[in-house]
Amino acid sequence: MKIVVIGGTGLIGAKTVALLNQRGHDVIAASPGTGVNALTGEGLDIALNGADVVVDVANSPSFEDDAVMAFFTRAGANLRGAIERAGVKHHVVLSVVGTSNLLESGYFRAKQAQEDMVRAGKTPFTIVHSTQFFEFLPGIAAAGFDGQSVRLSNAGIQPITSGDVAGFVADIALSAPANGTLEIAGPQVFGMCDLIESHMVAINDPRPVICDADAPYFGVRLSQNSLLPQSTALLGATPYHEWLSRFVSLKTA
């Protein structure tokens, strides 16, 4: 089976490509660095020629409102056109749990626009809603930093390791299209503020963490369940403490 992974050299993409290669498939890791640019359309038709499945795990290089909307709408339109011209049988897109409830944020508005474009297309699809990656915890801390402290909501969060995300995405790419949304998440639920504080202690980050129910999360005021999946989510196998021990070992190696 020929599978094209858009964003195939990134955090999730590279792992997904490796897993699909291990299973014996013909996989193209598509990215600007390999001559395939969904934002401009460069190389898309050539890469997708004869493809059975297209997996889109690309992310915007900027989270600024206009830039991120431009990225997902332009790339989405170019990709949908190329997919339909190539007669692709399954379009898999990685998105975020809770997207439709987080539209105060420009990033989530852009992700919603991307999802809407996929649903409106002619190609059978599966949208994979993932919770936050463990690897994104430092980014959450950075977004909550006000210059003196890290101020965060303690809303529920159920993060998942990037390796487990890639495993689910690879499995879904090889399955029949859901023509709907599947949710994936980690095995444990935490309070966001509590988790970030413990994570910062573990990596010797001295900044104080303040739990504040009104603290925005990328521009959105969270309810307790805003970032949590439904009860039917597929759960990754890697617990936080196991991932953390590897993460700390790498940082201190």
Given this model, what pLDDT does residue 246 score? 83
Q: What span, in angstroms and rounded, lies between the C-alpha atoms of 99 and 65?
A: 15
Backbone angles phi, psi at 128, to 5 degrees: -100, 110
Q: In tens digits, what is the pLDDT along the chain, a chain of 253 residues?
A: 999 999 999 999 999 999 999 999 999 999 999 999 999 999 999 999 999 999 999 999 888 999 999 999 999 999 999 999 999 999 999 999 999 999 999 999 999 999 999 999 999 999 999 999 999 999 999 999 999 999 999 999 999 999 999 999 999 999 999 999 999 999 999 999 999 999 999 999 999 999 999 999 998 999 999 999 988 999 999 999 999 988 777 665 5
- What domains does the chain contain, in order, with CATH numbers? 2-252 (3.40.50.720)
* pTM of the predicted structure, to 2 decimals: 0.95
Question: Which 3-state string (H, E, C) describes 62-129?
Answer: CCCHHHHHHHHHHHHHHHHHHHHHHCCCEEEEEEECCHHHCCCCHHHHHHHHHHHHHHHCCCCEEEEE
- State which amino acid sits at residue 201: V
Pick the closest to residue 79 from 16, 121, 20 (CA basis): 121
Amino acid sitting at position 230:
Q
